[in-house]
Amino acid sequence: MSASKQKGTRWETAIVEFLRDNGVPHAERRTLNGAKDRGDIAGIPGVAIEAKSANRVELAAWADETERERTNDGADIGVLWVKRRGKASPGAGYAILSGTQLLTLLRAAGYIAAPEQQA
């Protein structure tokens, strides 16, 4: 396994452990499915998580990849979880999602009303 793959595997494993330690008991790494990949981490229904740990951040490409994998998974939310340089904990990483998906989460949590409910 290449050093890059090992780095990615370590980051995915760290995220899984972090999720399990924080109330997501079924979190697990997913196997690769090529063009039909559904994200790197499973265990939260309706959420596809793509994990990235790299020296160079390629946000636009990674966001596009996350969206493709969210669609492949049929998930409502796609999260790009990027390792923060110099920080080992996934809690210090960056969890990135689209503005539309942020609104979906805020509505589901009751912070804002759906557009049709606003007067």
All structural domains of the chain, each given as residue ranges with its CATH number in brackets, are 3-111 (3.40.1350)
Instruction: Quick: pLDDT tens for 84-118.
Output: 999 999 999 999 999 999 999 999 999 999 888 76
pLDDT for 35: 73
Q: What CA–CA distances, in Å, run from 24 to 7, 61, 94?
A: 23, 28, 18
Contact 76, 106 (CB under 8 A): no
Quick: pLDDT tens for 57-72: 999 999 999 999 999 9
- CA-to-CA distance for 34 and 95, rounded, in angstroms? 23
- pLDDT at res. 63: 97
Question: Taking the model in full, what pTM does it have?
Answer: 0.90
pLDDT digits (tens, 9 = 90+) for 11-36: 999 999 999 999 999 999 998 777 78
pLDDT at 24: 98
Kindly state the greatest CA–CA separation across the chain.
57
Q: Are the beta carbons of 39 and 48 closer than 8 angstroms?
A: yes
Under DSSP, is residue 42 helix (H, G, I), strand (E, B) or coil? strand
Sheet holding 94-96, edge to edge: 28-29, 41-42, 47-52, 77-82, 94-96
Q: Using the predicted structure, report yes or no on whether residue 1 has a pLDDT greater than 80.
A: no
Q: What was the pLDDT predicted at 2?
A: 83
